[in-house]
């Protein structure tokens, strides 16, 4: 069986529009039963099996939580309900509460009309393919309920938020205080709304919180890491030192310096890596993706820090980090992984690492980010037809080669078919903004012409 044979699981769980298959209550009922059956069979010992369920703040989360609860308990597995919690918090609690698995009800940075499911193993990491296959295999069978005396029970973890807040605080030195910092925190009306402001306040910072009034439908709406303009305005209005924005489920972070400049995942990774190198902490190297800015690679090279790229997606970043035994990796979007601290991408933990670097260096974020020079990038989406094989199209590849030759070592070209829509992303990166834009337009025009020919 290959990954292409999966019917429901994508690279990051199961996701789609609410009410459209498979994001429906009846499917979630069966998914809960299938997961409960699979994990129940794999448990060890004679104790009760347990699965945690957490969610973000989408209105549909209530419906899917109830459906999953019914399915899991029908399979004879207990449920611990966490309520609204960041995705990385669910990974942490799954591990520390010794559960067989954790289930997250979230569509991350998508709008409220979407929702999804992702699973964590008992170790707090993404599920291996074999378990996803096993759950899909179980979904092919009719639901069967265990004997009444064997049904699972449901309980609520009332101190889930407090447990996770204390964990976040423990990830930086106990002597480190943020008393000198005024911070604006944008929680995107998502699952960090009752967590993140408390973390930073308890570490001494003066905090102005925005995006902390979820109504079930405003998650990620013109706020958070995908829309940081309100954060920029708030930082300038409050004369704050730093702004921090999370996405709806809390696994991504974007920052804003005191001048109102947006600081993306590449720059945050650099700030963290630079501070670790300064302290002679061995973290191996940094894993980025095909979309990571060339400026990050160059800045890390100047620090003598190894850097490698993977395909876009935190799953691929994680795999490469584990294979190499490295501790730092992430994406430009702000999905940053610190494997020596936790088992998955965590927006709050990553923000704390960056804040610690700022305090340790006694330099503002605006100064630290300028030690890495981002190169201009230009990306154009071109509608992609089914008949065009980009990799083997002579005209497209000749154009790519010509542009790469003209850019030399100070630039690069990337053609990447989207995994979510029928387009190819044409990206050119280099020293000069205008030159980069001209090359991107030239290449996208060639791609568009070849697409038209192939129809």
What is the fold of 377-454?
A: TATA-Binding Protein (3.30.310)
What is the fold of 164-369?
A: Alpha-D-Glucose-1,6-Bisphosphate; Chain A, domain 3 (3.40.120)
From first to last of its 455 residues, what are the pLDDT tens digits of the chain?
444 578 999 878 999 999 999 999 999 999 999 999 999 987 655 567 999 999 999 999 999 999 999 999 999 999 999 999 999 999 999 999 999 999 999 999 999 999 999 999 999 999 999 999 999 999 999 999 999 999 999 999 999 999 999 999 999 988 899 999 999 999 999 999 999 999 999 999 999 999 999 999 999 999 999 999 999 999 999 999 999 999 999 999 999 999 999 999 999 999 999 999 999 999 999 999 999 999 999 999 999 999 999 998 888 999 999 999 999 999 999 999 999 999 999 999 999 999 999 999 999 999 999 999 999 999 999 998 777 888 899 999 999 999 999 999 899 999 988 766 788 999 999 999 999 999 999 999 999 999 988 87
Domains 3-158 and 164-369 share a fold: yes
pLDDT tens, 187-210? 999 999 999 999 999 999 999 999
pTM of the predicted protein model: 0.93
- Calculate helix-pair angle for 347-361, 87-96, nearest 10 degrees: 100
Alpha-carbon separation of residue 266 from 307, 384, 429 (angstroms): 12, 28, 15
Q: How far apart are CA 244 and CA 365, in angstroms?
A: 12
Could you confirm whether 60 is annotated as catalytic? Answer: no
Q: What are the residue boundaries of the structural domains of the chain, listed by start? A: 3-158, 164-369, 377-454
Q: How far apart are CA 91 and CA 89, in angstroms?
A: 5
Q: Which among 108, 225, 333, 378 is annotated as catalytic?
A: 108
Alpha-carbon separation of residue 192 from 12, 54, 219, 274 (angstroms): 20, 12, 11, 27
pLDDT tens, 176-187? 999 999 999 999
Are the C-beta atoms of residues 87 and 251 closer than 8 Å to each other?
Answer: yes
CATH code for the part of the protein at 3-158: 3.40.120.10
Q: What is the pLDDT at residue 156?
A: 97
> Which residues neighbour 16 within 8 Å (Cβ) at sequence distance 6 or greater?
22, 23, 114, 115, 116
């Amino acid at each position: 069986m290959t990954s292409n044979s999966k019917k429901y699981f994508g690279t990051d769980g199961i996701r789609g529009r609410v009410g459209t298959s498979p994001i429906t209550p009846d499917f979630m009922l069966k998914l809960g039963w299938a997961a409960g059956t699979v994990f129940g069979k794999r448990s060890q010992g004679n104790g009760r099996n347990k699965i945690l369920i957490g969610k973000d703040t989408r209105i549909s989360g209530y419906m899917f939580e109830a459906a999953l609860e019914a399915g899991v308990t029908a399979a004879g597995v207990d449920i611990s309900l966490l309520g609204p919690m960041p995705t990385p918090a669910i990974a942490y609690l799954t591990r520390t509460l010794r559960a067989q698995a954790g289930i997250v009800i979230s569509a991350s940075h998508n709008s409220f009309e979407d929702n999804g499911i992702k699973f964590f193993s008992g170790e707090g990491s993404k599920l291996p393919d074999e378990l996803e296959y096993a759950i899909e295999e179980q979904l092919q069978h009719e639901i069967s309920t265990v004997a009444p005396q064997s049904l699972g029970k449901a309980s609520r973890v009332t101190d889930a938020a407090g447990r996770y807040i204390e964990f976040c605080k423990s990830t930086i030195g106990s002597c480190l205080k943020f008393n000198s910092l005024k911070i604006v925190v944008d929680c995107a009306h998502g699952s960090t709304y009752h967590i993140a402001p408390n973390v930073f306040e308890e570490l001494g910072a003066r905090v102005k919180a925005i995006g902390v009034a979820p109504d079930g439908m405003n998650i990620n709406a013109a706020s958070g890491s995908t829309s940081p303009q309100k954060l920029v305005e708030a930082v300038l209005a409050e004369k704050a030192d730093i702004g921090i924005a999370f996405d709806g489920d809390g696994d991504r972070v974007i920052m804003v310096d005191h001048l109102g400049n947006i600081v993306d995942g590449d720059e945050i990774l650099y700030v963290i890596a630079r501070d670790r190198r300064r302290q002679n902490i061995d973290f191996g190297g940094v894993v980025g993706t095909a979309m990571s800015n060339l400026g990050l690679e160059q800045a890390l090279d100047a620090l003598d820090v190894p850097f490698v790229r993977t395909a876009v997606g935190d799953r691929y970043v994680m795999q490469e980090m584990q294979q190499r035994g490295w501790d730092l990796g992430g994406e430009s979007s702000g999905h940053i992984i610190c494997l020596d601290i936790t088992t998955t991408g965590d927006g709050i933990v990553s923000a704390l690492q960056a804040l610690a670097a700022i305090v340790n260096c006694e330099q503002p974020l605006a100064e630290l980010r300028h030690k890495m020079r981002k190169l201009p990038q230009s990306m154009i989406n071109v509608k992609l037809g089914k008949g065009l094989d980009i990799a083997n199209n002579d005209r497209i590849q000749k154009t790519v080669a010509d542009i790469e030759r003209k850019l030399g070592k100070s630039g690069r070209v990337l053609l990447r078919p989207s995994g979510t829509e029928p387009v190819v992303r044409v990206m050119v990166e280099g020293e000069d903004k205008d030159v980069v834009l001209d090359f991107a337009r030239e290449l996208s025009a060639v791609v568009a012409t070849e697409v038209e020919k192939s129809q």
